[in-house]
A and B are shown apart, each in its own frame.
Chain A
Amino acid sequence: MNTHKKHGFWHRYFFSLDHKDIGFQYMLTIFVMVSIGGFFAYVFRMHLAYPEMEVPLFGLVTNKDYNMLITNHGLIMMMWLALGMLLAVAGNYLIPIMIGTDDMAFPKLNKLSYWFFLISVILMISSFFMKRGGFGGGWTMYPPLSVGDFGYNTAYTSFKDRFFTANTFVLLAITFEFIALLMGGINFFVTTLNKRAKGMTLTKMPMIVWMINIASVLFMFSVGPLIAGAFMLLLDINAGTGFYDVYRGGDPLLWEHLFWFFGHPEVYVILLPPLGIIAEIISTNSRKPLYGYKFILNLTLIAAILSMMVWAHHQFVSGIDPRAATIFSIFTIIISLPFAGIILAYIATLWNGDLKINLPMKWAIGAITLFTLIGGFTGLYLGASVFDIYAHDTSFVVAHFHYTLFPTVIFGSFAAFYYWFGKFSGRELNKFWGNVHFWLTFIFFNGFAFPLFLLGLAGQHRRIADYRQFEFLMQDPLPLYRQIATISAVILILSQFIFIFNFFWSLKRGKKVTSDNPWESNTLEWQTASPPPHGNFAVYPEVHHGPYEYNHPDREDDFLPQNKK
């Protein structure tokens, strides 16, 4: 933190070219977005469990508010938290330092991409305050609804009237964010290929660098058609074209295809970086080499390509050709295999290891456990097209994707925070409060998401502001499940404050780290000062070993840094 004392506030937070500062800027921006998304989650969960009550800090939730809250919760969490935290923050902070170089290949492009990200955040937040209210068409933005004004049927009178709507602003925000991440992705890609330290061949790169790069490239290709599609939707809203208007020869299903053509690879874009983070942490704390480095890599590449052929499993009942659905169902089931291989390889890394169960390790193991046992396995239900007829658009789906995304995105990010905080700030996070935070999050996440499975199986459909009017959903245990989910969600959100206080308190007055390499890790970022100086390394490292040479038999201590001979 105190490496750049000579730079003022504006310089550090707005004009810095250093990849670590830009990563920090991204992180703070995303904290703001997450707080908004979390607050929205709190409001609508409270409303679901206690529909007649005025929600503290918000007031009475109308149907319109409810739609706006769930939509923006989804958009913020998917687009700004998940993509931003795992691609932008992790990529920016970790890639240059882990491949042993001073900065990104294009520092100015990097800064520009942050500014685009900032613009997208501003556009997104301003969309809440439009005259007709926030965007309420579901985070998937299916067209005939997202073109209009969600059912008020208050006619647009002028271009200005159409432009200053939440629809336009949300679409613009998403487009800006995609452009920011595209620029970031190209930057990561070029940096990794061209700026590796001497001796660092591609197979000596740490797993996370690979994962972020694969994710970036996957993002780059899958997002292309959606950018075109978003442009068309913007024209539909603002210029009166009919790309998605069926009365003009368009087709709303086209948007669904384009959206999920991006949306499914996006899940893997989000999933791969945490898998990389977990690989680092598990290997380091098991004190043994990552099991099957090349094997994991090959499986990841296979999964990345397969992930482009499965998108229509989000649309089994959306009116696509049922025979096409069968093909997509087969690919969906097949894509579970590479991930089974990756997870088994991670578990094999735990076996025979000299396990150190510290905080990052807890988060990492918690992430794989929840992701595999519940998130991954429940995917089989939805991939099997028959059961998806019933489970589609019910709370079962909500529970499923919270169980895939929460362990990877949130647990993965926290694992990374607790692991790299010392490197990032030169100070330590408080361990006691870290443990409290972990256990509260772990328990109450399950308490929140698991009842949703049962609710979904009982037939509770999604995005309904008030279940009281559906008799079959008010039978005996179901309201109780809703309350359990809500109370757990509220405690889950509250317990994140522990982390926030811990984070900022430790940033200023935490205990100074005693060693630059507290986990006795091999990768290059631990071989420099904490926090790393501008330019990262005093002497550019030369790499001689792979990243996971723990317990090497020829060495006395159990680790062998990459730059040691």
Chain B
Amino acid sequence: MNTNQPEGLAHEIAVPKKEDYHGHPNYLIIYISLLILFAITVFASLIPNPLVVFIIVFVISIVKGSMVLLYFMHLKWEPVLIWILLGLALMTLLFLTLGLYPDIVSVKPYLVTKP
């Protein structure tokens, strides 16, 4: 929480100022590396063990997702607040996963066939 920020009503800053913008990353390089990662994903799926595929694929998805977030959505240049917001969303999902895990994965349902 900082106290010495520039003041003013929001109408004045609703339209971003020029200096609000940052140096741009080279979008083409990001795009090409996304495609390469995607190719790896598709080829990784040929591995016969589903658990290995799952882990590889999930990690690569996280990398790809964060690349889009960081460079295409310019999260890298956004203020901490946005990071906090997204972090809270991830924290929510983490708690949900931890809470659901024992009740979904480790329960073998006792299936009675419904007549």
Chains A and B in contact, CB within 8 Å: yes
Please give the distance in Å from B87's CB to the nearest CB on chain A.
11
Task: Decide: A251 and B109 in contact? CB cutoff 8 A.
Answer: yes
Is B50's beta carbon under 8 Å from chain A?
Answer: no
Whether A225 pairs with B96 at a CB distance below 8 angstroms is: yes
C-alpha gap A321/B107 in the complex (Å): 9
A224→B95 contact, CB < 8 A: no
Chain B residues with CB below 8 A from A321, complex form:
102-103, 106
B103 x A251 contact (CB < 8 A): yes
The answer to whether B3 touches A261 (Cβ under 8 A) is no
The complex places the Cα of A201 from the Cα of B85 at a distance, in Å, of: 20
Which of under 10, 10 to 19, 20 to 34, or 35 or more describes the interface residues of B? Answer: 20 to 34
Contact (Cβ within 8 A) B92 A222: yes
Q: Is the CB of B88 within 8 A of A194?
A: no
Bound complex: CA of A253 vs CA of B10, how far in Å? Answer: 46
Chain B residues with CB under 8 Å of A261's CB are 95-96, 99
A518 CB-CB contact with B under 8 Å: no
On chain A, the residues within 8 Å of B92 by CB distance are 221-222, 224-225, 308
A324:B99 contact, CB within 8 angstroms: yes
From 193 to 235 in chain A, residues with beta carbon under 8 angstroms from any chain B beta carbon are 193-195, 197-199, 201-203, 217, 221-222, 224-225
**How many residues on chain A are close to B (CB under 8 Å)?**
34
Complex CA gap A194/B1 in Å reads 14
Bound CA span A225–B13, Å: 34
State which of A198, A247, A251, A254 has its C-beta within 8 Å of the C-beta of B7: A198
* Residues from chain B with Cβ under 8 Å of A254 in the complex: 100, 103-104
B-chain residues with CB within 8 Å of residue A202 when the two chains form the complex: 1
Q: Mark B76-107, 1 if CB is under 8 A from A, else 0.
A: 00000100010011011001100110111011
Instruction: Closest B residue to A197 by CB, please name it.
Output: B9
Question: In the complex, A7→B104 CA distance in Å?
Answer: 57
Given the known interface contacts A308-B92, A321-B103, the answer about A101 and B10 at a Cβ–Cβ threshold of 8 Å is yes
CA A251 – CA B5 in complex, angstroms? 51
Task: Return the contact of B113 from the options A221, A224, A247 (Cβ within 8 A).
Answer: A247
Shortest CB distance B77–A (Å): 18
- A330 close to B (CB within 8 Å): no
| CB of B114 within 8 Å of the partner chain | yes
* A540 contacts partner chain B, Cβ-Cβ < 8 Å: yes
Instruction: Considering the complex, give the chain B residue whose CB is closest to the CB of A193.
Output: B81
Q: Is A320 close to B, CB under 8 A?
A: yes
Q: Are A203 and B88 in contact (CB under 8 A)?
A: no
Distance (Å) between the CB of A106 and the closest chain B CB? 10
Min Cβ gap A105→B in Å is 6
Give the docked Cα–Cα distance between A203 and B92 (Å): 26
B8 touches A (CB below 8 Å): yes
B39 at the interface (CB under 8 A from A): no
Cβ-Cβ contact count across A and B, 8 Å cutoff: 68
Q: How near does chain A come to B78, taking the closest CB pair, in angstroms?
A: 13
A201 to B1 Cα, complex, angstroms:
8
| Interface membership of A401, Cβ < 8 A | no
Given the contacts A195-B10, A225-B96, A324-B99, A247 and B91 also touching, CB distance less than 8 Å: no
Task: Map CB proximity to B onto A145-162 as digits: 1 under 8 Å, 0 otherwise.
Answer: 000000000000000000
B47 at the interface (CB under 8 A from A): no
Q: Check: B62 CB closer than 8 A to any chain A CB.
A: no
**What are the residues of chain A within 8 A of B107 when measuring CB–CB?**
251
Identify which of residues 298-314 in chain A touch chain B, using a CB-to-CB cut-off of 8 Å: 305, 308-309, 311-312
Q: Which residues of B contact A246 (CB under 8 A)?
A: 109, 111
In the assembled complex, which residues on chain A have CB atoms less than 8 Å from the CB atom of B106? 321
List residues of A (246-269) whose CB comes within 8 Å of B's CBs. 246-247, 249, 251, 253-254, 257, 261
Segment 476-513 of A: residues with Cβ below 8 Å from B: none
Question: Which residue of A has the minimal Cβ distance to B114?
Answer: A247
Q: A198-B8, A221-B92, A308-B92 are in contact. Are A320 and B113 (CB under 8 A)?
A: no
Which residues of chain B have C-beta atoms less than 8 A from A320's C-beta? 102-103
Residue pair B10, A257 in contact (C-beta under 8 Å): no
Taking a contact as CB atoms under 8 Å apart, the answer to whether A194 and B109 are in contact is: no
- Alpha-carbon gap, A335 to B47, bound state (A): 46
Chain A's nearest CB lies how many Å from the CB of B57?
22
B9 with A198: CB separation less than 8 A: yes
Q: A198-B8, A221-B92, A222-B92 are in contact. Are A324 and B3 (CB under 8 A)?
A: no
User: Across the interface, do B10 and A105 meet the contact criterion of CB distance under 8 Å?
Assistant: yes
Q: Are B91 and A308 in contact (CB under 8 A)?
A: yes
Minimum CB–CB distance from A211 to chain B (whole Å) comes to 16
Instruction: Evaluate contact between B7 and A253: CB separation under 8 angstroms.
Output: no
A251 x B104 contact (CB < 8 A): yes
Q: Which residue of B lies closest to A105 (CB)?
A: B10
The chain B residue sitting closest to A102, CB to CB, is: B9
Q: Report yes or no: B13 in contact with A194, Cβ–Cβ below 8 A.
A: yes
Other A-B pairs, 20, CB within 8 Å; known A193-B81, A194-B13, A202-B1: A101-B10, A201-B1, A201-B2, A201-B3, A201-B5, A203-B1, A217-B88, A221-B88, A221-B89, A225-B92, A251-B103, A251-B109, A253-B103, A254-B103, A254-B104, A257-B99, A308-B95, A309-B95, A311-B99, A321-B103
State the 9 A-B residue pairs at the shortest beta-carbon distance, nearest first.
Answer: A194-B10, A195-B10, A198-B7, A321-B102, A221-B92, A202-B1, A201-B3, A247-B114, A324-B102
Provide 26 A-B residue pairs closer than 8 Å at the C-beta atoms, listed in order of the A residue.
A105-B10, A193-B81, A195-B9, A197-B9, A198-B7, A199-B7, A201-B2, A202-B1, A203-B3, A224-B89, A247-B112, A247-B113, A249-B109, A251-B104, A254-B100, A254-B103, A257-B99, A257-B103, A261-B95, A261-B99, A308-B92, A312-B99, A320-B103, A321-B102, A323-B102, A540-B9
